[in-house]
Chains A and B, each alone.
Chain A
Amino acid sequence: MDQVKISRRDLMSVESPGRYVGGEFGSVIKENVIKQLEETGSCREVRCAFCFPDVYEIGMSNLAMQILYKCLNDMEECWCERVFSPWVDMDAVMRKNNIELYSMESKSPLKDFDIVAVTLGYEMCYTNVLQILDLGRIPFRSKDRKENDPIVMCGGPCAYNIEPMADFFDVAMMGEGEELIVEVTKIVKRYKDNGKKDRMELLRELSALEGVYVPCLYEPVYDNGRYKGLKKLDECAPDKIRKRIIKDLDKVPYPTRPVIPNIRIIHDRACLEIFRGCIRGCRFCQAGFIYRPVREKSPDTLCRQGIEIEHNTGYDELGILSLSSSDYTGLKELTDGLLDAFEGRHTSLSLPSLRIDNFALDLMEKVSKTRKSGLTFAPEAGTQRLRDVINKGICEDDIMRSLRLAFSGGWSTVKLYFMLGLPTETMEDVKGIADLAYKIERLYFDVCREQGIKARKPEITVSTSMYIPKPFTPFQWERQNTKEEFLEKQSYLRSLIKSRNIKYIWHDVETSLWESVLARGDRRLCDVIEEGYRKGCFYDAWDDHFKYDVWMETLHEHGLTWEMFARGFDVDDEHLPWEHIDVGVNMSFFRKEREKAYNEQITPPCREKCSGCGAQCFKAGECYAPK
């Protein structure tokens, strides 16, 4: 078996060498596969390298990776190992010394795997996918790979519009992977059993699976620089690819024995996913649509899994994971059960996505026995008008009521998240952000006076990010704000916030401008991304490494401009690069929602009233819950 060796000196020369050595508790070593590899140089099992295109500490915090690692390793006919992007320093060491990228478990070169699967959680990791292929000595383009090269696959939220990366992947998997990745692996197993004869035939076979998109079976059509849809190159290719979901989350394997990193990672805690989807339907939020329908796990299952994970991992914190956790119907039962079970064990519970109400404050009091942490609100927009436009089902009274409770309870730190550049936004809406912050500041002192609490210096943080229109949302056709517009709004807001109690945090505009191109781009970007990578762009998600000017220059060299992608699409007669993907929510629903947005009309959460988005087609979850 080939193993990549890294000298002590090289390891000692990089930051956090623990990132590169593996050996973690819970990592899966399949001795029977190693034995075959050592004896014959090959094995019967499918070898899968699950890659996370960012550093170890981020990748290891990713739940999808732990879930699919388990699903694949539960299969007798597969051994799944992990691969991460080496950090910039290690990347340089590897290039200088001609070291190939390798897996954490067996330290095998990436190119020795049958499957290279990449999870795409955010667009800005795209260049790191190329870094992984590059260091792994795998040809970038699907068309250049031969029978013995790994099958390069992707999944995750960004797979829904994989067009900007389409040339680099053999297969893209849509939706939830627990079942699909097993089905795909079984087909790859047959391909391997038969001596890897016809790669194209394998891809054709895979394309017949629901949820699998094989980009090379299609070709984009353009007319005068306008995208005109995909043309099928092969009769067998499906017209539409529908995402996969897990109908019953109670019945699907959950990683209660995850890999426990030896070094500290970003989310260094056990993780319990309580449901998928979101009942709210905020119009800017891609996650709110692509994960439909809402499917809950039962409190029984969750209590059992939570207790198991805490015991199996030794973590002293269990994080509850979902969108808008407050909407979980069994939240009280679950948190009571878990708090009970953790009594006296020095284990705390964290609920990062909680709407602040009585229950939440009470719970926060219980779970953090120590000091009061900050409260977080995401009004997203400064005025009620704009909050109605984006269907953010939260009004000023709600926020004020929650904060009154919190301030009475002794909290004094509040974080507020907003977006700039939402559709229909005016300067009046931007001003609304500052107004809201000032109202909260006043409220704090009012509450302290009324309740006879000694007022401290409240810490109110206002944070704005740039709105990026995403596929599969009612705003997918919208224009993105220009750099100038964003900067003007930021500086206007800066000029309005003068109080010493209010801190304004703004973000880099340029990153969002590029992310927007990638989010709604098409296959013309493949060349641009490769070229940008060759010019030294990677780790674009890290502000220090993001090179805006290089990207804009490279776009222009390919006859493209930022405006071509940021201007959006004509609602009535333009093709969308992701229109061949079916997430269950109909385009007609998105159109209707867009219209309602412009009319400042809200749409109720789907638990209150079904709006007929189309997700019923999956015959699962909230759509079929007794009302």
Chain B
Amino acid sequence: MTRQVHRTEYVVRCLFERVGDASFVGHLDLMHTFDRAVRRAEMPIMYTQGYNPRPMMVFALPLGVGIDTLGDYVDISLSRLVDAEEFMKKVNPNLPSGVRLYGGINIDEPKNSLMSVVTTAMYRIKAPGIRDPLMRLFEKEEIKVEKRSKGKTVETDIRPLLLSGAQKMSSDPDICELYVCAGSVKNLRPDVLLSALCRHEEYDEELAQNAVITRLALFGGEYPRLLDIKGLL
């Protein structure tokens, strides 16, 4: 098996989940983990040209430390056609526990990078009594949070990033599922949302820090007409 630099690439787009202890691995480390798993599976991954060749792998949206995901996307470029099913069958046994690929498809060279098509993420947040205060945030006109940038603290409003009406009512008061803006243009990190919750709804900080956050899915398109990324090329 050779891993050569080719001009043509065959991309496999896969969904992946990362749950439990594996969620405490940072995004960069997760990329290394994928790279090694693909190499162990002897899949013909492609490398970038230049002094410091890197495996050609694109993740839809960086995943924060401590956040589980059930539906993230990754594009992996191969130098020859490998059926997506076959690819996943080979790679999955090589991933560490808690990480798994599923629902992969073969796609032609994507015109737009995977990162640029993501607009929306759906999260599930689980913590004692969190549903109602989170819902109340949606009723606000404005939700100010402090953001540190270049050593200065600035106030920004995250209300526009919460996709109004997107909340799915749960019968469990400890669970809230919601849609927020995600991607390279507008993005709301769940930890920022939780700190806003503590600030504006006086939700308990310790409970917030222990909240189990799961990214359920990523979408393209414009809310509420969301599109499945799988088909978005």
Contacts and interface: CB of A to CB of B under 8 A. Distances in A.
Interface of A: 7-9, 11-13, 16-18, 20-25, 260, 262-264, 311-316, 343-346, 370-371
Interface stretch (B39-47, B115-123, B171-179): B39-47
Nearest to A260: B36
A17 B40 contact: no
Contacts of A9: 206, 209-210
A257 B51 CA distance: 30
B36 A344 contact: no
A432 B29 CA distance: 45
B36 A22 contact: no
B81 interface: no
B53 A8 contact: no
> Interface size bucket, B side?
35 or more
B94 interface: yes
B35 interface: yes
Interface of A is mostly: loop
Nearest to B40: A314
Contacts of A12: 65-66, 209
B163 interface: no
B38 A345 contact: no
Interface string B14-52: 000000111011101110110111111010000100011
Contacts of A16: 26
B169 to A, nearest CB: 25
A311 B90 CA distance: 13
Given A8-B212, A11-B24, A314 B52 contact: no
A18 B20 CA distance: 11
A41 B4 CA distance: 52
Interface of B: 1-4, 20-22, 24-26, 28-30, 32-33, 35-40, 42, 47, 51-53, 65-66, 94-98, 206, 209-212
Contacts of B38: 314
B37 A23 contact: no
26 contacts: A8-B66, A8-B210, A9-B209, A9-B210, A12-B65, A17-B65, A17-B66, A18-B24, A18-B25, A21-B21, A21-B22, A22-B21, A23-B98, A25-B96, A260-B96, A262-B29, A262-B30, A262-B96, A313-B36, A314-B35, A314-B36, A315-B36, A344-B2, A345-B3, A346-B3, A346-B47
Given A262-B29, A262-B96, A371-B51, A25 B37 contact: yes
A536 to B, nearest CB: 28
A248 B21 CA distance: 40
Contact of A345 (B2, B95, B210): B2
A13 B38 CA distance: 32
Contacts of A263: 25-26, 29
A7 B29 CA distance: 22
Contacts of B211: 8
B77 to A, nearest CB: 13
Nearest to A343: B2
Contacts of B1: 345
B22 A262 contact: yes
Contacts of A23: 20-22, 96-98
A25 B26 contact: no
Nearest to B28: A264
B37 A7 contact: no
B33 A262 contact: yes
Given A23-B96, A263-B29, A370-B51, A313 B3 contact: no
Contacts of B51: 370-371
A312 B21 contact: no
B164 to A, nearest CB: 29
A8 B98 contact: no
Contacts of A21: 21-22, 24-25
Contact of B3 (A22, A344, A371): A344
Contact of B96 (A13, A24, A371): A24
Smallest CB-CB A-B distances: 4 pairs: A314-B36, A21-B21, A314-B39, A344-B2
A531 B37 CA distance: 46
Given A11-B66, A264-B32, A313 B26 contact: no
A313 B66 contact: no
A340 to B, nearest CB: 13
A133 to B, nearest CB: 25
Given A8-B210, A12-B209, A22-B21, 8 more contacts: A13-B209, A17-B66, A20-B24, A21-B24, A260-B36, A263-B25, A264-B29, A313-B40
Contacts of A371: 51
Contacts of B65: 12, 17-18
B40 A18 contact: no
A312 B24 contact: no
Contacts of B22: 21, 23, 262
A126 to B, nearest CB: 30
**Which of A18, A20, A345, A371 has the most CB atoms of chain B within a 10 A radius of its CB?**
A18
Contacts of A316: 35, 39
A269 to B, nearest CB: 11
A12 B20 CA distance: 13
B97 A8 contact: no
A311 B33 CA distance: 15
B101 to A, nearest CB: 14
A268 to B, nearest CB: 8
Nearest to B97: A23
B1 to A, nearest CB: 7
B146 to A, nearest CB: 19
